[in-house]
């Protein structure tokens, strides 16, 4: 979201009124456009309690939430879609809307009003931007008509965008109160985290092989899950749903099901049985993998920062086909660039290096008067419970250079360049 002063006098006549042509006809191409609205709790919105849309060249982030079905999307858009949405946003005569102001309302959000903003930025020899804020009672106004056109377009367009983008499962939650179970799968930081809680076994959390996501996507497709979205909405109070499935994809496409044993969408019961059986089996395998190696590592993270981006390095355990194995990975700008399994001997070698840095534990140095100084952080937890937590900015513990070189040498020798 851009943040700049309002330039109504020179830009709005060109962009936010009837003189503005369709985006594909503009001599001044749009580089960014946005529309946001939040309806107060005492109002009844006609389509969504909150609408957030940000449009950049070739990509879009949008969410319509508060009413069902929730709609979310984050991903690329083709030129035609970009121009169609830009045309809708440019046709909004926001400066003439009731409640239009030149400044964002810094006060507490009001429960009996709808607060909104429209932003348009054009790419010229000199970048120019306009932004109009306002609030109204949500009655029959030109803003309401413009918002209706926008929402109607998005509701028709988003299914097409969902279908055009390869799906990757981002997160999944399933809670089944009658059976006393909870299952979740998260894809984050290049790893797949799983949590399983049932009456028969204790809470189990672990990292799984990434191919689990492909297995779950295949199961969802086979079950016809996309037709379930919105089933049971409004039937139960929050937190009192007997059975609840919630998941999202990389495109932020949601799927929400609220059901009970006597009332389920077609194929849902079979899906839940297959899902929980698969995750329960993985949790049991993780539990049976046994204790960590004597002197082994439970987790570890090391990173440096300075005037340029630096990668950081992690150690974690993952359930592979061969069991719970130690893995190391290199992460750069929140993206995993390399991941490799370690042998028991290699883990022992790394543990020996890290235990040699035990004197660093508790170090917290800060050269407050130095600008752009190099920094570091090290966090380690061993199987026996011992930990090393150290960090510094412009300062480092004794022997830092030697210890740092040992860590980097171990990782870089094993991870692909």
307 domain-assigned: yes
96-135 tens-digit pLDDT: 888 887 666 554 567 888 999 999 888 765 667 788 889 8
Kindly report the CATH number assigned to the domain that includes residue 183: 3.30.1560
Give the predicted TM-score (pTM) of the model: 0.70
Domain count of the fold of the chain:
3
Can you spell out the DSSP letters for 161-203? HHHHS---EEEEEEEETTTTEEEEEEEETTEEEEEEE-SSS--
Say if residues 29 and 123 touch (Cβ distance below 8 Å): yes
Q: Which residue, 271, 23, 62, is CA-closest to 162?
A: 62
pLDDT by residue for the chain (417 residues), tens only, comes to 333 333 333 333 333 343 334 433 344 678 899 999 999 988 888 888 899 999 998 899 999 887 666 788 888 888 899 999 999 998 888 888 888 876 665 545 678 889 999 998 887 656 677 888 898 888 878 899 999 999 999 989 988 888 787 778 999 999 999 999 999 999 987 789 999 999 988 899 999 999 999 999 999 999 999 889 889 877 777 678 899 999 988 877 888 899 999 999 999 999 999 999 999 999 999 998 877 777 789 999 999 986 555 788 999 999 988 889 999 999 887 677 789 999 999 999 999 999 999 999 999 998 877 777 889 999 999 988 899 999 999 899 999 999 999 999 999 999 987
Residues 314 and 279 in one domain: no
- Is residue 398 within 8 A of residue 365, CB to CB? The reply is no
315 falls within a domain: yes
Neighbours of 321 (CB within 10 A): 7
Residue 225 covered by a domain: yes
- Judgement on whether residues 44 and 145 belong to the same structural domain of the protein: yes
Helix (H, G, I), strand (E, B) or coil at 384: coil
In this structure, the answer to whether residues 124 and 198 fall within a common structural domain is: no
200 and 155 in a common domain: no
Structure tokens at 392: 């510094």
In a domain, 329, yes or no: yes
> Last residue of some domain: 164, 180, 208?
164
Picking from 103, 137, 164, the residue at the C-terminal end of a domain is 164
């Amino acid at each position: 979201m851009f943040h700049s002063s309002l330039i109504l006098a020179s830009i709005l006549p060109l962009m936010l009124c009837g003189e503005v042509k369709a985006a594909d006809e503009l001599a001044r191409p749009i580089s960014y456009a946005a529309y946001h609205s939040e309806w107060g709790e005492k109002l009844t919105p006609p389509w969504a309690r909150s609408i957030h849309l940000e449009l950049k060249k070739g990509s879009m982030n949008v969410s319509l939430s508060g009413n069902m079905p929730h709609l979310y999307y984050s991903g690329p858009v083709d030129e035609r879609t970009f121009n169609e949405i830009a045309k809708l946003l440019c046709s909004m005569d926001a400066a003439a809307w009731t409640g239009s102001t030149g400044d964002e309302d810094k006060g507490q959000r009001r429960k009996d009003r709808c607060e909104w903003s429209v932003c348009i930025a054009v790419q010229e020899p000199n970048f120019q931007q306009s932004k109009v804020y306002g609030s109204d009672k949500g009655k029959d106004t030109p803003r309401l008509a413009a918002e209706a056109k926008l929402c109607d377009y998005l509701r028709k367009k988003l299914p097409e965008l969902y279908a055009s983008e390869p799906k990757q499962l981002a997160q999944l939650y399933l809670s089944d109160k009658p059976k006393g179970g909870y299952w979740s799968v998260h894809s984050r930081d290049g790893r797949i985290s799983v949590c399983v809680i049932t009456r028969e076994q204790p809470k189990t959390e672990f990292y799984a092989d990434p191919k689990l996501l492909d297995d779950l996507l295949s199961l969802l497709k086979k079950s016809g899950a996309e037709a379930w979205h919105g089933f049971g909405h409004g039937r139960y109070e929050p937190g009192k749903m007997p059975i609840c499935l919630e998941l999202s994809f990389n495109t932020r496409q949601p799927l929400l099901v609220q059901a009970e044993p006597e009332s389920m969408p077609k194929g849902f019961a079979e899906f839940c049985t297959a899902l929980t059986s698969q995750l329960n089996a993985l949790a049991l395998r993780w539990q049976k993998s046994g204790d960590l190696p004597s002197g082994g590592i439970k987790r570890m993270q090391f990173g440096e920062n300075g005037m340029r981006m630096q990668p950081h390095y992690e150690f974690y355990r993952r359930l592979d086909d061969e069991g719970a194995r130690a893995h190391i990975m290199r992460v750069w700008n929140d993206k995993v660039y390399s991941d490799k399994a370690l042998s028991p001997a290699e883990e022992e070698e790394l543990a020996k290096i890290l235990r040699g840095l035990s004197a660093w534990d508790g170090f917290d140095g800060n050269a407050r008067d130095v600008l752009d100084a190099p920094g570091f952080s090290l966090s380690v937890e061993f199987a026996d419970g011992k930990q090393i937590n150290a960090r510094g900015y412009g300062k480092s513990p004794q022997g830092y250079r030697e210890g740092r070189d040992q860590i980097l040498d171990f990782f870089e020798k094993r991870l692909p360049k």
